[in-house]
Chain A
Amino acid sequence: MSLAVKRRDPAALVLLAGPVLLCALAIIVPLVLTLVVSFWERKMIGMQPGFTLTSYGLFFEGARFSVLRRSFFVAISSTLIMLLIAYAVAYLITFRLKPSRTRIFLFLLSVPFLVNYVIRTFAWAYLLGRTGPVNQFLLDLGVINQPLDWLLFSDFAVYLGLIAAYMPFMVYPIWLSLSAIDKRLIEASWMLGEAPLQTFLRVVLPLSLPGVFAAAIFGFVGAFGEVAVSQILGGVGYQLMGNAITSSLDVLNYPMAAAMSTVVVGCMLIMLLLWLRFFDLRLFLGKVLGR
C-alpha cells in the first residue's frame, strides 16, 4: 500500500476515527455494563449497585440451569446438522455449478434470509399444524391416516425452524473458503493417485476449516440465543436461553437478565477468540480485503 494513501492529516483522522470510536464504544460499553450489572442486587422493581453473586447462584442452581443445558444441547446439535447441510450445499455450488450459476444460487439463497425470520417461523407453524398443508398432503397421499402430532410444538419443529432460519447464512463462509482453495492442489492429489474421498478428507476439508468454523459460530450464536423459533414452534414451556432472558426482563429482574446474557456472550467470545487464535482473519476476509 502506498504512502500517499496512508498519509494522515488531522481533519481526516477526526472524520474517520470519530465514527469508528463511536461504534466501538456503542458496541463494547453496553456489553461491559451488562457484566457489571450482573453482579448487582435486585431491588423490588429495579436494581441497586453492589457486588453479589446472587444472580449467578440462582441461575446455576434453579430451573434456569436446565434451560441453559437444553439450550446448549439444542444449539450444538442443530449447529452440527446445519453444518452438514450447509457444507453439502456450499460444496455442490462451488465444485458442481458454473461460476455464473453459483452467483445466482447464492442470490436465491439470500432472498428468503432477508425476509424477517419471525414471519417465516409463523409460516412454518401454519405449514406444520394439525390442519396444515403438510398433514393434509400426507393424508391425501394416504401415507398416514390421521394428522401427525409431532410436526408442530416439538423438538422436530424447533430444529426445522432453526435450520430454516440460520442455515442459509452458514453457506457463505463455507463457500468463501471452498472457492479460495487452489484447484491445482486437488488436481495434484488426484494425479498422485488418491481416491476422491481421500482427496476430500485430506485436502479439501482441512483447507475449508476456517469457513466451517465461522459458519459454526454463526449457527451456534443464532440457535443459542433463540427467542422466536422456540416460542412459536416449540410451544408453551419450550424455553431456550433467549426466552429465559426475555422473561427475566419481563419481570424487571435486570441483574438476572444481565447474568444470563453475560454467560451467553461469554460463550460467544470464547468461540470467537478460538477462531481468531487458530485462523487468521485475512485468510477468510482475504478476498474482501483484496490482499
Chain B
Amino acid sequence: MRGSLHLLVWLCLAAVLVFLYAPLVPPLLLAIRDPQTGAATLNNFAAIGADPTLVSAITNSVLLAAIVGIAAPLLGLAAAQAVRSFGLPRLIITIVLLPLFIPGVSMGVSTSLFFRLTGIDPSLFTMAVVQTLWALPFAFLIILTVMSGFDTLYLEAAYTSGANRLQAFREVELPQIAPGLTGAATFSVILSFNETVRTAVVQGGNNTVQTFIWSRYQQVGLTPNMYALMSLIIIVTLLLILVLVALGRKQQQS
C-alpha cells in the first residue's frame, strides 16, 4: 500500500516533467531534418551564417546579454545592500520586484512611450534597459538570498579593525557573496537571451534572435532555418544552466 502510494507520487511528478520537457524536443528534431527528403542534415544551420540580418540579430543578442549580465547584478547588489542599510526594506523590495507583477506587453508599451516622449530613438540601449528591468528582480532575489547567509558580524569586526566601508565590503563581504553575483549574472544572461515580448515593442529596426523568429513567424511562418535558430537558443540556454549548476557546486564545496 505504502509502496504503491510512493510510486503514484513519482508518476505524478514524472508526468509533470515530461509535460514541461516535451516542447524542447521538436525544434531539435525539425532543425536537423531536410524539409524535402526528411533525411538528417545540417544545412539548416549552415544557412544561418549566410543571412546578414540573422548574423546581426545574433550579434545584438550577444551584446545585449553581456550588458544585461553586468548591469542587472550590479543594480541588484546596490538594491540588496540598500535594503540592509536603509531600513526601508518593504518599499525597496516592492519597487524592485514590481516588474515581476506587470505583464511584459504593458512594461514594453510603457517604456516605449517613455522613450518616444523623451526623444530617445529605439536602439540597443532601449532594449538593454527593458531587459535589465526584467532581469533585475531575479538578480536581486538571488543576491538577497546569498547576502542573508552572510553574518554581518564579520563587517563589524572589519570596522573595529579600522576598515572603512568600501574596504570591509571588498575584502570581507564580496568574497563571500561572489557566488551569488556570478549566479545572478548567469541568470540575467539567460533571461536576456530568452526575452521576446518586451524587447519586440522597443526594438525599432534592430532585432535579437528571439524577436527575429517572432517577426518572421508573423510575416511568413516558420521555416527549417527558424527551427535551427530555436535549437541554437535551446542549446545555449541549457549550456548556461550547466554553468549555473557548476557555480552552485563550487559554492557548496567552498
Which residues of A approach B to under 8 Å, CB–CB?
Answer: 1-2, 4-9, 11-12, 15-20, 22-24, 26-31, 33-34, 37, 85, 88-89, 92-93, 96-97, 105, 107-109, 111-116, 118-124, 126-127, 133, 164, 168, 217-218, 221-222, 224-228, 231-232, 241-242, 245-246, 249, 254, 257-258, 261, 264-265, 268, 271-272, 276, 281, 285, 287-290
Interface residue from B82, B166, B217 paired with A17 (Cβ < 8 Å): B82
CB-CB under 8 A from B39, the residues of chain A are none
| A221-B102 contact in complex given A5-B84, A19-B74, C-beta closer than 8 Å | yes
Q: Smallest CB-CB separation from A12: which chain B residue?
A: B165
Asked whether B100 is an interface residue with its Cβ less than 8 Å from the other chain, the reply is yes
| A268-B103 contact in complex given A16-B85, A114-B194, C-beta closer than 8 Å | yes
- Contact of A30 with B114 in the complex, beta carbons under 8 Å: yes
CB-CB under 8 A from B50, the residues of chain A are none
- Contact of B102 with A127 in the complex, beta carbons under 8 Å: no
- Contact of A222 with B103 in the complex, beta carbons under 8 Å: yes
- Contact of A265 with B23 in the complex, beta carbons under 8 Å: no
- Contact of A285 with B93 in the complex, beta carbons under 8 Å: yes
Please, what's the 1-or-0 string for B83-97, where 1 marks a CB less than 8 Å from any CB in chain A?
111110110111110
> Nearest chain B CB to A162's CB is how many angstroms away?
13
A114 to B237, CA, bound (A): 7
Interface residue from A18, A96, A257, A268 paired with B109 (Cβ < 8 Å): A257
- Top 10 A-B residue pairs of the complex, sorted by shortest distance between their CB atoms: A225-B103, A290-B148, A123-B23, A30-B110, A19-B78, A116-B194, A30-B114, A120-B23, A4-B156, A16-B82
| A12-B109 contact in complex given A120-B23, A122-B27, A127-B26, C-beta closer than 8 Å | no
- Contact of B144 with A288 in the complex, beta carbons under 8 Å: yes
- Contact of A34 with B109 in the complex, beta carbons under 8 Å: yes
List 12 A-B pairs, Cβ < 8 Å: A27-B133, A34-B113, A89-B16, A92-B12, A96-B9, A112-B20, A114-B190, A118-B196, A127-B22, A242-B197, A245-B106, A290-B148
- Contact of A109 with B17 in the complex, beta carbons under 8 Å: yes
Interface residue from B92, B197, B237, B245 paired with A115 (Cβ < 8 Å): B237
Asked whether B79 is an interface residue with its Cβ less than 8 Å from the other chain, the reply is yes
CB-CB under 8 A from A246, the residues of chain B are 105, 201
Q: Smallest CB-CB separation from A262: which chain B residue?
A: B106
- Contact of A5 with B85 in the complex, beta carbons under 8 Å: yes
> Nearest chain B CB to A5's CB is how many angstroms away?
5
Which residues of B approach A to under 8 Å, CB–CB?
Answer: 6, 9, 12-13, 16-17, 19-27, 30, 74-75, 78-79, 81-87, 89-90, 92-96, 98-107, 109-114, 116-117, 129, 133, 136, 141, 144-145, 148-149, 152-153, 155-156, 159-160, 164-166, 190-191, 193-197, 201, 210, 213-214, 217-218, 222, 230, 233-234, 237-238, 241, 245
- Contact of A20 with B92 in the complex, beta carbons under 8 Å: yes
- Contact of A242 with B105 in the complex, beta carbons under 8 Å: yes
Interface residue from B99, B166, B222 paired with A122 (Cβ < 8 Å): B222
A261 to B90, CA, bound (A): 26
- Contact of B79 with A112 in the complex, beta carbons under 8 Å: no
A108 to B145, CA, bound (A): 20
- Contact of B241 with A264 in the complex, beta carbons under 8 Å: no
- Contact of A288 with B141 in the complex, beta carbons under 8 Å: yes
Most buried by B among A17, A24, A88, A111: A111
Q: Smallest CB-CB separation from A5: which chain B residue?
A: B152
- Contact of B156 with A89 in the complex, beta carbons under 8 Å: no
CB-CB under 8 A from B218, the residues of chain A are 231
CB-CB under 8 A from B153, the residues of chain A are 2
- Contact of A289 with B234 in the complex, beta carbons under 8 Å: no
CB-CB under 8 A from A258, the residues of chain B are 109, 113
Interface residue from A27, A89, A96, A245 paired with B105 (Cβ < 8 Å): A245
A222 to B106, CA, bound (A): 11
Q: Smallest CB-CB separation from A89: which chain B residue?
A: B16
> Nearest chain A CB to B17's CB is how many angstroms away?
6
Q: Smallest CB-CB separation from B169: which chain A residue?
A: A12
CB-CB under 8 A from A281, the residues of chain B are 90, 93-94
CB-CB under 8 A from B144, the residues of chain A are 285, 288-289
Q: Smallest CB-CB separation from A109: which chain B residue?
A: B20
CB-CB under 8 A from A108, the residues of chain B are 17
> Nearest chain A CB to B208's CB is how many angstroms away?
10
- Contact of B82 with A112 in the complex, beta carbons under 8 Å: no
Interface residue from A34, A123, A241, A289 paired with B27 (Cβ < 8 Å): A123
Known: A8-B85, A111-B241. 15 other contacts (CB 8 A): A12-B85, A16-B82, A27-B99, A31-B102, A114-B191, A114-B237, A115-B233, A116-B194, A118-B213, A123-B24, A221-B100, A221-B103, A268-B106, A272-B101, A287-B145
A108 to B153, CA, bound (A): 36
CB-CB under 8 A from A228, the residues of chain B are 196-197, 214
A268 to B84, CA, bound (A): 28
